[in-house]
Structure 1
């Protein structure tokens, strides 16, 4: 039902790929500083990060919904239910992230690096400042190895590290749309691109110095639970509607979300 086998295989692959960062860290790999932050590749990673920022998330949601759409007449009821399930998943993810950050109070990798270089006295003293003052402090630093666009971004990344809000949002989206796209019989390569995007967001957070591997791994687990749960609730709703009309599938190969 609902392509459960494909869901599980995709979940396992995603978590294995992200777990590589966690395992490698314990083998001595330092994910930050590793990358030349002035490189074009760093800019691409920044773009992935922005795709789940406050403004970028809206664009990403629109793109994912448009991909889910079919070519037949618009169905408002189905859209409302789907968006409702999606917003619940994202809201639970955001709430979980917010609560856990305040409980764990883990400092970010780039702050640990700045403290080691003597750019800030210590991470403890940094977090004793008000959040606005932390941003001003980061803005005032001379960081020749950090491009201006990243330093500007760092002024907004001054809260705690665990878990990763960007990662939990990305994986929630991946695991929400993946089962739905399977049920819609969307091409496998399209689902693969979706998963690749989610993994890319997670690794962008590592390589830009914003999170530890444990942060993104935990966020991926949280996001997978929330996304899969709400996606399958939506599919159960669709199945219940289809059962009242014998002979209809939840989604046909030619239909989309709005059919």
Structure 2
């Protein structure tokens, strides 16, 4: 699991050190761009909830009840921590997204004033800017799904919440599944995490440093969540074990 995390760190790390930018490398009106949209949607509400539920369902069928309960607690703790950290860091760093900077460079958006607006006003301005892309003298054409994604994602860039979500979920779920001897689900989660990071960069949602930092933070959150649950879980399990016989007697 730790080795997999290092591999996940190396990929954006190489891109960061080489100062490589993946946007606007990909044609955003292609089938590949639409595929990346569906990959990134697995980390977007409400589909992200369905992703967590799917992982829990697959894990439930492969883990003992005690380990599954521990997994459930660890995922709950890590997801709450991820959401809270992402909500705090984005306005703190106040970083513009790559697509917003690109629109600014083509005089379709003013990032200086854009991020001072309310969420509703930002959506209106982004919609107007996106609708002008096809009429402007630019090298980019947006597929309908990508256009919809640009209009929806109007928050700050750092960190990548989608990458945080994917890495944290992968780390926590893989730990328990690997202990149970399951390899193929952690393997799929590993490649899903890689695809998530690339989708965020290629679609113009995040800079390389956003994905790199989120991969680092996601791994740390996952490890800390596992540590906390392993320290607390025996205590919770002992209490539930004591209460269960009492509940049975009460029902009798």
With the shorter chain as reference, the TM-score category is 0.7 to 0.9
Q: 1:235 to 1:185 in 2, by over 3 A?
A: farther
TM-score normalised over the length of structure 2: 0.83
For residues 208 and 9 of structure 2, the distance between their equivalents in structure 1, rounded to whole angstroms, comes to 12
Name the structure 2 match of 1:137.
125
Where structure 1 has 5 or more consecutive residues not aligned to the other structure, the ranges are: 1-6, 243-259
CA shift digits 1:122-168 (9 cap, x unpaired): 21111122111111111123222112222222222111110011111
Name the structure 1 match of 2:4.
10
Task: Please report how far the alpha carbon of residue 170 of structure 1 lies from its aligned counterpart in structure 2 after TM superposition.
Answer: 0.8
Tell me which stretches of 4 or more aligned residues in structure 1 moved more than 6 Å. Answer: 237-242
CA shift digits 1:198-239 (9 cap, x unpaired): 111011000000000000111111111111222344456678
Name the structure 2 match of 1:21.
15
* Aligned residue runs from structure 1 range 37-76, under 5 A: 37-70=28-61, 75=65
For residues 212 and 35 of structure 1, the distance between their equivalents in structure 2, rounded to whole angstroms, comes to 15
Query: Does the 8 Å CA contact 1:135/1:154 hold for their aligned counterparts?
Result: no
Match status 1:111 vs 2:100: yes
Q: 1:162 to 1:241 in 2, by over 3 A?
A: closer
The structure with the greater share of residues assigned to helix is: 2
Number of matched residues? 230
Name the structure 2 match of 1:248.
none
For residues 101 and 71 of structure 1, the distance between their equivalents in structure 2, rounded to whole angstroms, comes to 37
Name the structure 2 match of 1:198.
193
